[in-house]
Amino acid sequence: MTRVEIFLCSFSLLQLIYQSHGVTITSLHRNVEVKEFETAQLSCIYQVERDNNARLEWKKIVGNHVSFVYFNGLLMEKYKGRVEMSGSSIRLRDVTREDMATYRCEVAAAGDEVDFAEIDIKLSVLVPPAVPTCKVPSSAMSGSRVVLTCKESDGSPPSDYTWFKDNKRLLERPAKDLAYINTSYTVNQKTGVLTFNPVKKTNSGSYHCEAKNKAGGPKECSAQYMQINSRPSKGKGTNHTTVPPVKEDFKHTKSFII
C-alpha cells in the first residue's frame, strides 16, 4: 500500500470517528399513514455522546407555517389530552385532516461535538371519498366539443375517477377498447374530466362516475342521460318562397298628325 493510499484510508477513518461523535437521530417510519380518527405514532429515537441534558423539541410544519407541539419539556396547550410523549416519540390520537403535516423532531446537545440533529416525519391522514358531483349535459349537437365533469373534495389522498357509459367503463385510452375505437374522447382519472371532441350520435347514453382512493370507495353519482342530436344539413328543410315578377304598367301615347 502506498503512502497516499495509507493517508486516504486514515483520513476516511478519522472522518467516520468524528461523524460518530455527537447527537444522532433516527426514526422507525419517515412516512406515516393512518386513517382518520385513528392513532399516529411519530417515532424519534436519538443518541448523544455525553450530554445527558439534551433539549428535545417537536414542531409541526405546514407550508411556511411552523408551530410547536412539544417545547421546553411541555406539550403545547392545544395538544394536551390528545398527544402523549413516549420517550422522545409522539403518539397522536384521533387524528383528523387538520393534523396532516410534516413533524420535525429536533435534539440539541450542547456538550457534544456535533451538538444538533433533526429529522422530519410526514403524516398523511387517509379519508374516504364523498359522493362525487357529476355534471352531464342533457343534450348536445353532434360535431361539437362536450365536457363532462366529476369531482369530490373530501377524500384524502385526492380521489381517482372512473367514468361509465351504460354501466361500461370508459378507458383512459379509448384506442385500446375495440368498442370505442372510433370514438374521440379522453378521460382524465385525476381531474375527473371526460371530454368528447367531437361528440357523435353514438355517444348518446347514460353516464355516471365513480370516485375512490386508498382510504375507501368507490362512491358514485347518479346516472344521467345525454342525448346527441344530428346537426341539420345545409339546405335541407329550408323554405324557399318564389316571388312573382312585378307587372309593369305601360302607358301608350298615340300621336296624331293633322
**Is 243 part of a structural domain of the chain?**
no
| Domain housing 137 | 133-229
Taking only the tens place, the pLDDT of each residue in 20-45 is 568 899 999 999 999 999 999 999 99
**Is 158 part of a structural domain of the chain?**
yes
Q: Is the pTM of this model over 0.85?
A: no
Give the residues of the chain that fall short of pLDDT 50.
Answer: 4-19, 237-258
Q: Are residues 111 and 189 in the same domain?
A: no
Q: What is the pLDDT of residue 156?
A: 95
Q: Are residues 27 and 118 in the same domain?
A: yes
CATH label of the domain that carries residue 157: 2.60.40.10
**Is 251 part of a structural domain of the chain?**
no
**Is 195 part of a structural domain of the chain?**
yes
Q: What is the pLDDT of residue 22?
A: 85
Q: Are residues 28 and 79 in the same domain?
A: yes
Q: What DSSP letter does each residue of the chain carry, written as one string?
A: --HHHHHHHHHHHHHHHHHHSS-EEE-S-SEEEEETTS-EEE--EEE-SS-TT-EEEEEEEETTEEEEEEETTEE-GGGTTTEEEETTEEEE-S--GGG-EEEEEEEE-TTSSS-EEEEEEEEEEEB---PPEEE--SEEETTS-EEEEEE-SS-BSPPEEEEEETTEEPPSSGGG-GGGTT--EEEETTTTEEEESS--GGG-EEEEEEEEETTEEEEEPPPEEEEEEPPPPTTTT----PPPPPPP----------
Q: Are residues 37 and 55 in the same domain?
A: yes
**Is 121 part of a structural domain of the chain?**
yes
Q: How many distinct structural domains can be found in the chain?
A: 2
Q: Are residues 119 and 38 in the same domain?
A: yes
- Label residue 169 exposed, middle or buried (CB < 10 Å: 0-12, 13-18, 19+): exposed
The last residue of one of the domains, among 126, 158, 185, is: 126
The last residue of one of the domains, among 126, 145, 179, is: 126
**Is 105 part of a structural domain of the chain?**
yes
Q: What is the pLDDT of residue 234?
A: 65
Q: Are residues 153 and 118 in the same domain?
A: no
